[in-house]
Structure formats: structure tokens, C-alpha cells
Structure 1
Amino acid sequence: MTNDTLYQEALRPQFHFTAQKHWINDPNGLVYFDGEYHLYFQHTPGSMVHGRTTWGHAVSTDLVHWKQLHTAALDVDETGWMWSGSAAVDHHNTGGFRDGDAPPLIAFYTAGGERVFPDRRCIQCIAHSNDRGRTWTKYAGNPVIGHIRAENRDPKVVWHEPTSRWIMTLFIDDNDYALFASPDLKSWTHLQDLTLPGVSECPDFFELPVDGDPSNTRWVFWGASGGYLLGRFDGREFTPETDVLQAEQGANGYAAQTWSDIPEEDGRRIQISWMRGGRYPAMPFNQQMSFPVELTLRTLPDGIRLCREPVREIELLHTGTHTWPVGDLAVLAAEQFHQRFESGAISSYAVTDLREAESRLVLADEGDLFDVRMEVEVEAQAGGFSVEVQGHSLEYDAEAGTLSCMGRTAPLRTIDGRVSLQLLIDRTSLEIFGNRGEVSMSFCFLPAATNHRLALKANRGSVHDESVHGGVRIVSLVVHELRSAWETG
């Protein structure tokens, strides 16, 4: 594989992070420092499957264009493999690791693992960097937390300003987690045990304003599968106010983490996930990350909920924009079909079902990189609509109020009779965001061999004659073509 062909492979995602080569999984050590977003990640250099685990490392100034720096920023040592963890800036030099004027970066990671080393149980360790995360020195006094039970791992550490100490959330086993506190990164005190039914691994813990009100906040306790609790945290105890809620409704989003130390003037809480389970036959890499999303808390009819939308930086990749007129979807589709047929763009030999062909509004015949945004007005019993993407189908059922894709279904309400969708389409993935992130679904797929069409179609409803597609009206429909994030020059 030469540098001329790297990142240009047929199944290489073009605006989702992938390693240059070999296996990756969980995002680790997400921290913003000195103008750079750092993305460390579980990596198995030299192998296309999960194995000897290190922390790979990539950086970006805009969350879109990534440069891989290392395959092993944290490498395997006598304590074992380098499992998942987090990173933060020690602005107050609480650990005493600063060397120079700039504050050090601190990495928190799990080492060991009895599945691999029967005599090396999982322990929690730290390392520090004084050169912008390029090299790391592991703490000579590791572990900072010894083995507790089972495969306790995945430390997420945040600074809690009101109590002037660090707070660690740690996965313990099964659905069990724990909270710890430290003034100096080295000595830790157990605070609390928590259980998240149905959720395990890779915790995250952060505070967000509700509806943008800084005087009304909640803490989010997040687990790997996208389940989360909302509650209050006083620096000593997290008090849940909800049962486990589900933010990720798709098939492939897993082990999401958020960046620490994003500047206050930006103010966003930004998250990225491993898109677990994608297939990339004959490619030099294996697995991809999601596109970064912004997290907000909004008050919805069922209460306060976590919403997820693509970060605005996706617009850096917009290269061509196509806007469709307002109107009845079935009418617009039929008009387009006859225009294309009369112009010779469609051959009569290609039409096997006239009624079916007339019902489909083609948004693109070719292409694989899109940011699609639509608002659709739909009658309660109209049937709904579907979006065709690379041979796969996304269905909105107006009667049931559900959104379905690739075997997964999520509730999606209408708001004043309308639903809005944003779709991020890459060569091997589809990310769906409904009603400004009230619903989010992540999917990996292999594109169809011949059908590369992107289309919108009205579905038949129970109150309409079977020959009529009605009750679905386009309020707005914009398709942005995207350029590759890997392009240079």
C-alpha cells in the first residue's frame, strides 16, 4: 500500500476516521489542547483483528481532517495491554507533572487483563505528557487504583471545580460502575457504587445545561451501549433522576466518549463513537469511528432527554448543494419521472413497475458522500415515506410514529405534523438524526453492487386508495454533496 493510494481505497470511509492500517475500536483519551483535538483509540498494529492493544493517536484542528501520528502512543509493557481510558489537562498541576510553562496532559488507562494474562488483573494507571500529547511517561507509582474485581476498567476522569478534585467513573463488572475522587491524580477515594441495568463498559460523566440554561443543569452518566442516566452530582454522590434512557438507537454505535477541556467560549460537549461491526473486505484497515456529534439536553414531552446532532464542522466538506421545491412528494416524484423519461435519462427498458417508478423522487443517481437535510409534513395515516440509500432503506411509519432502518426501530414523533431528518452518508455508513437529534441511529453497511441511488419515496397509507401515494409533503429538502476529508492540496 503506497502513500498515493492510502485513503483512496474503494471501501475507505471518506469523512469518518479510520486508522491508516489495521484494527481499531474504542475512542480513548479525548482531550482538546493548544488548538488540537486529540483522538487516541484502541489499536492493534500489525493485525486486522483485535489483539495486542495499544493506544493509537490522531489529531485534528477541526474534527473533520485527521492526521494519524502514532500506532502506539501508549504501548504494551510488563503490566499488560493498554485498554480504554481518558485524558485531561491538569491546569492546576495537581499531580506535579508539569515540566515547563504549559500544563501537562494526563492519560488514565487500564492495564492488564486476565483474558490475555492470567496472572495480570486489570489495574488503573496514569501517564503524563509535556509535549502536546506526542510522547507519554507512565507514572512510576502505578497502579493508582489496584484490582477491585473482574475486569474493572475504562476510567473516565473529569475535574470537578466546586470541590477542587478529580472524579473518576470506572466500569467494575456486568452492569456495575463506581465513582472515585482524588486531589492529586495519585491517591483515590471510593465515593459510590452504581448500577445501570442493561449497560456495561466505557463510562462517561459530564454536566450539561437544560435547554441552554446554565442555572439548570443535569449530570449525564453514560455507558458503552448508549444507555444513560440523568441526575444531580454534588461532588460526592450522583443521584439519578431517571431510569436508564437510550440515546443510540442504531446497530453500530458503541463505546462513545466526549472530549474534555473544550474551551468555554466554544461551550460544546462533543462525542465520538466506535462504529462497531462494520465490514471492509480486502481493505488495509478494519473498523471506523462515527462522525462527531454535539450533545445537548432538551425538555421533550417525556421529560429531559439527551439529543445528538452532527457538529457544524460537517459544513467544511460541503461541495455542491441541491434544493428541491416545496410540494406533495408524490406529485413531485411523478413530475420528475416524466421529465427524466421524456429527456431520455430513463429508458423504457429500465422501467419494470411504472407506478413504483413514478412514486420515487430521485435525489442522486450516483455518489456516496452526502449530508441530507429534510423536513416533511406527513398525515397521521398517510403511510409515511422512505429514503433509499445505497440499496438500503430508511422507513418512516406515520401511523406508528416510528423510524426503521436495517432491522432497528425507534420512536420519532411528529412536531406540528412534521418530522425532520439529517442523514450523513459515507461509503460504508449511514448516520440518522431525527428531529434535531431527538433520535440518533448509526449503521455500517456494504454498498449495493449496482444500486447507488439516493431517493425519497412516499409510502401508501391505510386511508388512501392503493393506487395513490398521498399525504406526504416536502417542506424543505436539501442535499449537500461532500468532498473527502482525506483530500490534500
Structure 2
Amino acid sequence: MNPTAELGCRYRPVWHYAAERNWLNDPNGLVYSNGVYHLFYQHNPYGDVWGNMSWGHATSADLLTWDEQPVAIPCDEQEAIFSGSAVVDIHNTSGFGVGGVPPLVAIYTSAYAPGSPLAGRQAQSLAYSTDDGATWAKYAGNPVLDRASADFRDPKVFWYDGESGSYWVMVAVEALDHEVVLYKSADLKAWEYLSTFGPANATGGVWECPDLFELPVDGDPSNTRWILVVNLSPGGIAGGSGGQYFIGTFDGVAFRSDTTVTEGLQSDDSRMADYGWLDWGRDYYAAVSFSNAPDGRRLMIGWMNNWQYAASTPSEGWRSAMSLVREVRLVSRGGRPVLVQEAVDPVESHGRELCALGRRTLADGVTWLPAESSGDVLRIDAEFEPGAGGRIGLVLGSGGEHAVVAYDSVIGELTLDRTASGNVDFHETFASVERVAVRLEDGRLKVRVFVDRCSVEVFAQGGMATITDLVFPRDPSTAVGLLAEGDGGILVSLTVTG
């Protein structure tokens, strides 16, 4: 095996889903049915670069351990199978069900190939499964929604039951127009236009992979808001791909945002930090939520990569992984609802404690933890009382390579610096420092960091802010150090689990 191949195998994550071979990007068709979570995704069955877009498939009972399944919906000479969603058609509104068993119905974008009667168009189509996702058949009446557009894609469908009636709602995008378009249907086959949202806030790239869902505020079912997610590329807060969200209301016809900062297509980079961002890192994109998740949970997963350099990441035979699954909630902060995210934690059932430290003042510089705290798959929980000046945080690395998670109390900013994290030269845009403003709570900063061979996911202040970045260290083991600069402050507690 050549050195590049060895590195590619070593970078394969343990806690994050990656296809055994070949290319993977956007999560699709996320649905829970009969005790199983289904993760479909954009997949090239024939190579480790983008192309031949089909729906790959993986299943899990716990959102942590995934079993790869055969390709669910393959491309053919007429169409590529672009992004979309899936639903459990409980009442068999589509008529695809057999013997009283509700079908699973996938709603996807047909990207019509040259030579097809609809060549160059993107339109919405259906496929259905009567064996709980094991096999799929395309609907003979496809496409079911065609706007004669070349960039109409990524349908997210859900059942709406409210004052305006009960029906399916489709949320899709006119990507180049920076518009989210909404339709309704009684049977998933015939669709009626409802409304359009946008352009608004970040419009520096095409809009893709929308999602729309309702959440209670502080767990109160009598006080809810709707969340509209819109991914875009480029134009993300950290550069390249990113995901933004709006908080507002939905009456069954139109979404109205309470958090729009700028409207239209005007560019105002100075306001970027005022927008709602799902993640402040470079590598959390195309995030969408599961349909039919039990116990009313809203669970999301994103593609852990960035279109700026996705085709160049140093792996061999496989490329890209998904993020950890995140549960999202709304909590009140300063009199307004704020989105918080918590990772479904692989450590709770599979981890063991490697190191635990109590309260201590940190000396200036880096204090490395004992060797038994090292590893390439780690969860680190740390709580700090930052001093009045300088930075405080964590250093993740070995052999002179390191990523740094640090808080600067002077400017109230949390950063993830991967500029010296190992192999950063494979693309000119990869070396980067990600930033997010974070307020201390009772003078303290809490971070939970997941390290998994090729990635670092940071959750600050209970998920009020997140940063997700890929890293490609040449040394397979990650040591953990405590960083203090100047009046860095106090470590309250730290636990390393692996």
C-alpha cells in the first residue's frame, strides 16, 4: 500500500459515518421507520470524486453505529438522483402501500441528462419502498413537479396539520435565485404552489438543501417557532459552504422570518456574524433533519466537508463523512429564542475515561496531559474561568502538529485554528482559523470537543455555538494540552474519554 493510501485508511473515522468506498456528500431521505434510522446520501457508486449521483444508504438503530446497505436509488442514462427527503406515508395518501403497510416515499430531484426528453432540467420525482427501505421503485408518473428550471432542487417534504388544513408540504429551492419555494399536496403526486421566501441574509452562493420544522421554546408545546434552514455554497460564514437558519412562523402557506437582517441580493459582509448559522466552521454543510423521529426529537446531520476542497481531501478509495447526529432545540436567551445543538454522544455507551482533572490555575504556555490521555478518537469536556487577558483553551496534536481550540476573553471570541494541524497544503483554502463570538456564563466557558481521526467538532456553552472542521494530522495519535497565555485563567474541570 502506498503512503497516501495508508493515510487515507488512517483518516477513516470511527464515530462518523463514511461509505466503505467512493464518494459521499449531502445527506438525503433521513427517516425513522420501525425502529430503524435510514440515512440516504449523495453517492458515486463508481469512484471517489463527484459524479453518477445516486442515493447511497445506511441504517442504524442508535444513530451511532451505521450499517451500509446497497445503493437505494441508482442513476441511469436518463437522470442523476440529486438530493431530497423521505417520509413514512402513514395514511397511504400516495396509494403506493400494499396490504395495509404504509410505504416509504422518497422525494428527490431528477437532474435530467443530455439525451433525456427533459435534458438540462431539474424537477421533483418520487420513488417508493414497500419493504421498509430495502428496495425502491421509481414512480411511473415522474416528474411530479416541474418548473422548467435548471436549478430547482432539494425537496424536503413533511406533513402539515394546522389551521390551514392537513396536507404534505414541499420546501425546495430555486438555487440561483436564492429563493425557497413551497408547495402542497394531498397525495405526494399533484402539487400546488403556496409561497416563496427570499432572498434574505446570506446570498453569496447558491441556496441548497432547505428544511422547515417546528420547535417548542424551552420545551413548552404552547410556545413554538418554525425554523427554516437554508444551506449555501459559497458564502458561508467561515468561507465556502455553510448553513444558515431563520426563526419565524409558518401558517401552512408562508414562512415569515423574525430574524431576517438583510433582504434581497445586496452584499453586506459586515452583517454576516448577525445571521443565524448552524455551524461556524468550514465543514458542516447540507444539514437536514430526520422525518418521523421518535419522541418528538428534531435530529439533524450534515455533510462534513466543504465544496472548496472536497475533491482534494487526502483519502484513498473513499471520500467524505457525515457529522455526528445533532439534536436541535430552542431555548430562551435574552428574551428571544436561540437554536442550541447537542451531539448524539458515542461516548455514553462506548467510551472509557482516560483522564480527569480538577480545579487549578494554568501556567503560561502549554501543559500537556499524561500520555494515557492521547488517542485519535476522543471526547474532551472542559470548563474554564478565563482571565482578564490572553487566551485559554485546548491544544490537540502531536509531533509538532496541532489544532487549537482557544477563547480570547478580551474580544469574547472562541476560535478553532487548524493552520498547523498536519496536511494543510492539499488545497490553498484549507488552512484556516474559524471564529465565533461566545458569551461567558457566570464567568465560565464550557466546551465539549469530539476528535475523530480526521475531524474536530466543538460544542460551546451547551451547544449555543458549534465549530466543525476537518483535520488531517500525519501523526495518528492526538495528545491533549492545556493552553494559557498571559492571564489565561483557571481550569475548573477536564475529562478526556476515548
- Bin the TM-score by the shorter chain: 0.7 to 0.9
- Output one character per residue of 1:80-118: Cα deviation in whole Å (capped at 9) or x when no partner: 100000001011111111112321101000012579979
- Distance in 1 between residues matched to 2:27 and 2:382, nearest whole Å: 30
- Which position in structure 2 is the counterpart of 1:414? 440
Ranges in structure 2 where 5+ consecutive residues have no aligned partner: 232-241, 261-274, 418-432
Partners of 1:80 and 1:111 within 8 A in 2: yes
Partner of 2:407: 396
Counterpart for residue 334 of structure 1: none
Tell me the amino acid that sits aligned with residue 400 of structure 1: I
- Could you tell me whether the CA contact under 8 Å between 2:301 and 2:326 is conserved in 1? yes
Distance in 2 (CA, whole Å) between partners of 1:186 and 1:306 is 34
The Cα of 1:6 is off from its aligned counterpart by 12
SS of the residue 2:410 aligns to: coil
Structure 2 residue 254 is matched with structure 1 residue 234: no
* 1:257 paired to 2:288: yes
Which of 211, 214, 219 aligns to 1:204? It is 211
- 2:66, 2:44 → 1: CA distance? 19
TM-score, normalisation: structure 1: 0.85
Q: Structure 2 counterpart of 1:170, which letter?
A: A
2: CA distance, partners of 1:7 / 1:296: 37
Given candidates 296, 301, 305, the residue that maps to 2:338 is 305
Query: Residues 413 and 363 from structure 1, CA distance in 2 versus in 1: closer, same or farther, beyond 3 angstroms?
Result: farther
Residue 34 (structure 1) aligned with residue 34 (structure 2): yes
Structure 1 unaligned segments of length 5 or more: list them. Answer: 331-354, 462-469, 482-489
Counterpart code for 1:416: D
What is the SS of the residue equivalent to 2:208? coil
Report the TM-score, using the length of structure 2 for normalisation: 0.84
Aligned equivalent of 2:298:
269
Q: Distance in 2 between matches of 1:212 and 1:261?
A: 18
Task: Note the C-alpha offset of 1:356.
Answer: 3.9
d(CA) in 1 for partners of 2:8, 2:175: 41
Correspondence for 2:278 among 247, 262, 276? 247
Deviates more, 1:364-373 or 1:202-211: 364-373
Structure 2 equivalent of residue 335 of structure 1? none
**2:465 match:** 439
1:156 paired residue number = 156
In structure 2, C-alpha distance between the alignment counterparts of 1:298 and 1:129, rounded to whole Å: 37
Match of 1:478 in 2: 495
Match of 1:294, as an amino acid?
E
In the TM superposition, residue 197 of structure 1 has moved relative to its aligned partner by 3.2
Identity value in percent = 37
Whether 1:176 and 2:176 are equivalent positions in the alignment is no
Q: Contact 2:365–2:484 (CA<8 Å) still a contact in 1?
A: no
Shift in CA distance, 87/59, structure 1 to aligned 2, threshold 3 Å: same
Q: Cα 1:315–1:6, aligned 2, differ >3 Å: closer, same or farther?
A: farther
Distance 1:158 1:451 in 2: 43
Asked if 1:370 corresponds to 2:383, the answer is no
Aligned to 1:288: 321
Amino acid at match of 2:175: D
Quick check: 1:221 aligned with 2:228? Answer: yes
Work out whether residues 389 and 453 of structure 1, in 8 Å CA contact, stay in contact via their aligned partners in 2.
yes
Q: Which residue of 1 aligns with 2:269?
A: none
Cα distance between partner residues in 2 of 1:115 and 1:360: 58
Q: Secondary structure at the match of 1:203?
A: strand
Corresponding residue for 1:124? Answer: 124
CA contact (8 A) 1:38 1:59 kept: yes
What is the DSSP-based 3-state SS (H/G/I as helix, E as strand, rest coil) of the residue aligned with 2:348? helix
Query: Contact 2:304 / 2:321 at 8 angstroms: preserved in 1?
Result: yes
Task: Give CA deviations for 1:320-343 in whole Å, capped at 9, x if unaligned.
Answer: 34221222233xxxxxxxxxxxxx
2: distance between equivalents of 1:177 and 1:450?
43
Q: Which residue of 2 aligns with 1:74?
A: 73
Whether 1:453 and 2:479 are equivalent positions in the alignment is yes
**Partners of 2:456 and 2:315 in 1: how far apart?**
21
Take 2:483 and 2:330, find their aligned partners in 1: how far apart are those partners?
32
Distance 1:30 1:59 in 2: 10
Give 1:429's aligned residue.
455
* 1:429-459 CA-partner distances (Å, limit 9, x unpaired): 0000000111011100101438732111112
Equivalent in the alignment of 1:165: 167
Aligned residue in 2 for 1:349 = none
Q: Which structure: larger Rg?
A: 1
Deviations 1:232-281 (A, max 9, x none): 11111211111241121001110001111012xx2211110001146653
1:382 counterpart letter in structure 2: G
Question: Does the 8 Å CA contact 1:7/1:20 hold for their aligned counterparts?
Answer: no
Per the TM alignment, residue 78 of structure 1 is displaced from its structure 2 partner at its CA by 4.7
Contact 1:62 1:313 survives alignment (8 Å)? no
- Equivalent-residue separation in structure 2 for 1:419 and 1:114 (angstroms): 52
How far apart are the structure 2 equivalents of 1:312 and 1:216?
Answer: 28
Q: Whole-Å Cα distance in 2 between the matches of residues 85 and 133 of structure 1?
A: 15
Alpha-carbon distance in 2 for matches of 1:135, 1:368: 37
Q: 1:215 to 1:365 in 2, by over 3 A?
A: closer
Instruction: Provide the aligned length of Structure 1 versus Structure 2.
Output: 440
Distance apart, 1:64 and its partner CA: 0.7
